[in-house]
Amino acid sequence: MSASAHTSQQEKVEGETSASSPRRAITAAAIGNFAEWYDFAVYGVVASIMALHFFPSSDPVVGLISAYVVFGLTYVSRPIGGLIAGWLGDTLGRRRALSFTILLMCAGTALIGFIPSYNAIGVLAPILLTLCRLVQGLGTGGEYSSAISFVYEHSQARARPIRISYLVTTTFLGITSAVLIASLCTTVLGDEAFEDWGWRVLFWLAAPLGLAGMYLRRKVSETPQFKQLAADRETSEVKAAPIRSTFRTQATAMILFFCIVSSYALITPILSSYFITFIQLSGGLTSGQSYNVSLAINVVMIATTLAAGRVMFRYGLQRTFIVGGLFIAVVSVPAFAISTLGIVGALIGGSLLSIGKGLVAVAAAMAMSYMFPAKVRVTAGAFAYNVCTILFGAAGPSLGIWLNSVTGSNITFSVYLAIVGALSAIAAIIGRQRLKEPADELVTA
């Protein structure tokens, strides 16, 4: 392609960018992200109740582990969803990928609310639940990298850490809302009615949330970087092949990214799901009390996430990730130990873990944007992150319950979390050259 042709295409893309509203696009991505992560969190919030309805057992620990195994199955389908959304995002546009992810996630969530219990339809109940969770996984698998790429590519270089922190904050707002609604339902209905049927309300709400998010995402413009990629492909007649190109050119970067984000992949299901069950079983809290604690520590997480964007803007991505990983390594064991001492201890322990998660959450999102080029960003980021969540996130809650049960100690699992936090920090040190923003990124308004 000639220099004049390339300049013409560049001017065309920049003209379209100036006519669009990056803030509107970022808002649409954030609202849809909120809806998706509300859907993701709901199952974890009521996991102990799901065990009673879908996995009856004479041993409550076995039933709870079964519920968390189904929780983990969502992660199995996530790499597949990531590859599908990655192909859509890197071939047809980020916006189409975002519409695909929210449709699957919200449909899978809403349908769970209509599944009869084991007592009504027998073994078909856990089978239908598993299928719905697999559909959720397909949607969630592409959401993370698609939404991050969308916001990153719609932002100026200097604004990217702050705007990414806003996007990540909507993730936690979605999770917090799931906990808040569960808490409100238990207050209004009482624990008995909520555990009997009220938990279904949380899943039904996914339908209107999903429709609203999908509508907003269909109304926004495509990112400037993808428009430029599409224009270059049209001129050069080079077809997009993101999946093949990803594995051929990004293998080393994906392995490094996998190691760096391992602490985030593990601590996410711990705080959104496992911690609620942990403080009920080990701290003696009721369902209502545990939801209130989870709500409070999510507020701490949101505040930390917003602060992390500014910390990263000032001190850089690598330092932020190292501090976050080491913080998790240092506080994990004492945080879980304190959390067994009643409601105040749970608030303190959960808040410490939330600070660590807030730091690594924003850093993980920016790492994906920095480490992979625009032409394969959605595909490479989605696949590497989702494989990481299988090995660390999927097994997290059930592994925690099993380890604590086998050892007879209720804080054994926290040692595992501390080790992963330290390894994540070491990986960030090793990968320091890749944790720098590419010089050739298109800067937008």
DSSP string across 93-150 = -HHHHHHHHHHHHHHHHHHHTTPPPHHHHTTHHHHHHHHHHHHHHHHHHHHHHHHHHH
- Residue 407: which residues within 8 A CB-CB, separation 6 or more? none
Specify the pLDDT at position 374: 81
pLDDT in tens, 245-298: 788 888 889 999 999 999 999 998 888 778 888 898 888 888 788 888 988 998
Gap between the Cα atoms of 1 and 124, Å rounded = 58
pLDDT in tens, 138-154: 888 888 788 888 888 88
Q: Which residue has the higher pLDDT, 328 or 53?
A: 328
Hey, what are 34's tokens?
């909120």
Q: Which residue has the higher pLDDT, 241 or 217?
A: 217
**Residue 160 domain-assigned (yes or no):** yes
**Residue 243 domain-assigned (yes or no):** no
pLDDT in tens, 73-127: 777 888 888 888 888 888 888 888 888 888 888 898 999 999 998 889 888 888 8
Specify the pLDDT at position 437: 65
Gap between the Cα atoms of 36 and 14, Å rounded = 31
- Mean pLDDT along residues 124-143: 87
Contact, 388 vs 261, CB < 8 A?
yes
- Host domain of residue 307: 14-234+250-434
SS3 357: helix
Specify the pLDDT at position 358: 92
Contact, 17 vs 224, CB < 8 A?
yes
The CA dihedral of 308, 81, 176, 313, to the nearest 10 degrees, is 10
The DSSP secondary-structure symbol of 443 reads P
The string of DSSP codes covering 15-78 is HHHHHS-HHHHHHHHHHHHHHHHHHHHHHHHTHHHHHHHH---SSHHHHHHHHHHHHHHHHHHH
Q: Is the pLDDT of residue 19 over 60?
A: no
What is the percent of the chain where pLDDT is above 90?
A: 22
Nearest residue to 97 (alpha-carbon basis) of 284, 189, 226, 241: 226
Q: Is the pLDDT of residue 18 over 70?
A: no
Tell me the backbone φ, ψ of residue 59, rounded to 5 degrees: -105, 110
Specify the pLDDT at position 111: 93
pLDDT in tens, 309-355: 999 888 888 899 999 999 999 999 999 999 999 999 999 999 999 99
Gap between the Cα atoms of 211 and 15, Å rounded = 31
Band (62; pLDDT cuts 50, 70, 90): low
Nearest residue to 412 (alpha-carbon basis) of 352, 326, 357, 340: 340
Contact, 55 vs 63, CB < 8 A?
yes
Burial degree of 240 (CB within 10 A; 0-12, 13-18, 19+): middle
Q: Is the pLDDT of residue 242 over 50?
A: yes
Specify the pLDDT at position 348: 96
CATH code at position 107: 1.20.1250.20
Residue 156 one-letter amino acid: Q
Contact, 76 vs 274, CB < 8 A?
no
Name the percent of the chain in helix, strand, coil, to the closest 5: 85, 0, 15
Band (11; pLDDT cuts 50, 70, 90): very low
- Mean pLDDT along residues 191-205: 90
The DSSP secondary-structure symbol of 376 reads G
- Mean pLDDT along residues 196-211: 90
- Residue 51: which residues within 8 A CB-CB, separation 6 or more? 57, 60, 63, 64, 66, 67
When the pLDDT of each residue in the chain is averaged and rounded to a whole number, the result is: 83
Q: How far is CA 223 from CA 147, 174, 237, 377, in A?
A: 11, 24, 21, 13
Q: How far is CA 414 from CA 173, 266, 427, 440, in A?
A: 25, 11, 20, 41
Q: Is the pLDDT of residue 438 over 70?
A: no
**Residue 4 domain-assigned (yes or no):** no
Gap between the Cα atoms of 209 and 272, Å rounded = 19
Gap between the Cα atoms of 402 and 395, Å rounded = 10
Residue 378 one-letter amino acid: V
Band (368; pLDDT cuts 50, 70, 90): confident
Residue that is written with structure tokens 């660390």 in the block = 392
Hey, what are 263's tokens?
């602490």
Band (6; pLDDT cuts 50, 70, 90): very low
Q: Which residue has the higher pLDDT, 431 or 419?
A: 419
**Residue 244 domain-assigned (yes or no):** no
SS3 391: helix
Helices (H), 316-442: 317-338, 343-371, 377-388, 396-407, 412-430
**Residue 145 domain-assigned (yes or no):** yes
**Residue 119 domain-assigned (yes or no):** yes
Contact, 222 vs 146, CB < 8 A?
no
The CA dihedral of 261, 45, 417, 369, to the nearest 10 degrees, is 10
Residue 113 one-letter amino acid: G
**Residue 162 domain-assigned (yes or no):** yes
**Residue 104 domain-assigned (yes or no):** yes
Q: How many domains does the chain have?
A: 1
